[in-house]
Structure 1
Amino acid sequence: MKKLIAVLALGASIATVAAPETTIVQASTINDTAKQNSFSGVTYAEQVLAQEGIKYNDFSAANPINYRNGKPEGVVIHETATPNATARNECIYFNREWMNIYSYVHAFVDKTGVIQMTSPDYGVWGAGPVANNRFVQVELCEENNLADFAKGVNNDAIYVAQILHRYNLEPDNAVHDGKGTIWSHHAVSTFLGGTDHTDPDGYFAKWGYSMDDFFDLVKYYYDQGTPADNAPVDNDTVTPPAPATPAKKPAVLPKPVATKVLIHNALVYDENGVATDLPTKKAGTKLTIYGNQTIKKRKYLQIGVNQYVVASNVEGKLRPLSHNAYLYDGKGKRVGTNKLYRGNYVRTYGGRVKIKGRKYYPIDVNQFVKVGNFK
């Protein structure tokens, strides 16, 4: 707890940028352009990282920061100050480094959409100790042309409107008086303290844009309500904000009990025994085991938060040989001349696999015995 308090006291904040040379553009034109783009949607960090084969380091599970009033009081708008870095780039970086840089936000937004890093039901380390337990915090990625900038602010505005609806908050611009639900990081520095950053003002100014213009765009989408409140829209019109998917409260893993090698490729299941969209775990992978659980009369091993594999892929089952048996590799090629002799018991893992039309049982990583050799 002392360490957490010390970290929060650091006022961990996302980097800002000095105001660049201003590009003169009519902000009303930018908002008009933004509204011509459909919402690109929300993707969750766990999905993005799984596609890259990267472990999700759940910030909220490790550091559950409760809001001072039980729910968010508004949204803080940041910008990354990292030219050409996408939301995916930022997602991967912050997932890896948040415990070293003491910084984290709820979502990254770019021209392609929103990547939500963690549940907005809990605070993060984004705008200093005064703001961190008050606000949802969203980072806008820097784009390098006006069209992509308009797409980015459009995605950002719709996501912010979703957040306001989700927590029954009304749009109120806090930039000028420090009172409201939509804040810039600069406004936090000015009115609340604990940080000295001024984003996203400099980045917005580059495009002749401002927080007032962004507020107008959020208000536009907020007033549209949710899809349930509106008639269906055509594909060539702006998609109204969809209600955010309720996030589960963060789960905390028990202490690991073992590290074991997976012998048979394994799907990843949830706590209900339903296969997830996570990548298949490959034979030879070392798994950290957090315990076991019987789901629908089948034994599973827990390998992560709400992640399980069938136990037989790791623990195996003894089977008696009825014939002498050679060993084969994953291509169905016989390995050496050594035999396993009939009458002995051999541990096999998982179900049968088919290699070049023949059925085998795995007995080790890249070692197989023909099914016909067992009783």
Structure 2
Amino acid sequence: GGLRYSKTWLENASSPSAAAKAIKAAGYATDKNYASKLINHITSYNLTKYDPVYSGTNYTAKVAKSGATYLYPTDHSVSPKKSYVTAGQTVTVTKTYTYYNGKKRMYLKGLGWINGEDLNTGSSQAPSAHTSATVSGQMKILMHSAAIYTSTGAKSSAKSVKAGKSMMTYGLVTINGAKYYRVNSASADQFIKASNFDGSPRKLKHNAYLYNSKGKRVGKSKWLKGSSHTVYGGSVKIKHKQYYIVGLNQYVKKGNF
């Protein structure tokens, strides 16, 4: 089945965690914790930095060379063809994925996906980065439940977001000395503290066990004193004890850091 893993494809998976769960659902892995282990790997090694950056900016461009357009933004050797464009034709770009190696795939309105090098996107057509039309974002997993703030650093009336949610983030800003991501492309005034997404490395002062959100110990393995781990956001209280979040549903006692 060529489509067995279709839920993991870029255009069908809202986030790395959705793709990991889809692999599991497709029956790839026998380990029932496969999805959560994969998600932890993605977050602890910051593998999301290899994710394509999505932009929803619309502009017109001219086709540089004639050829097919494709149904998906994936590798064109595995994607069915959708349509055809001719050199010199004017097209409207509505979506762009920029990959970590600099390559781009663009979606042409009504036509399908094309490789960036097949388009002329000279400075005359592409909008400048400063126009309000530019909306490029990066998908991140929120690791720690978080309040939404305004651009002045005040708590917004919007309701808090729970940990585990995949969100598009739009650029890092500093407000009152703390780093935030803008989280709503439409409203410039919604920000979440960056440490809830990216975390910061801390060294263990003592050997430490992992706990779940109920304060129950997970497994027998322990993290060793002196090892460094990513800690997300501020400490949280579980059954009168303070813990740091170190992964999705993974906690370490605050006193160990």
TM category (shorter chain) comes to: 0.3 to 0.5
**Which of the two has higher C-alpha Rg?**
1
TM-score by structure 2 length?
0.47
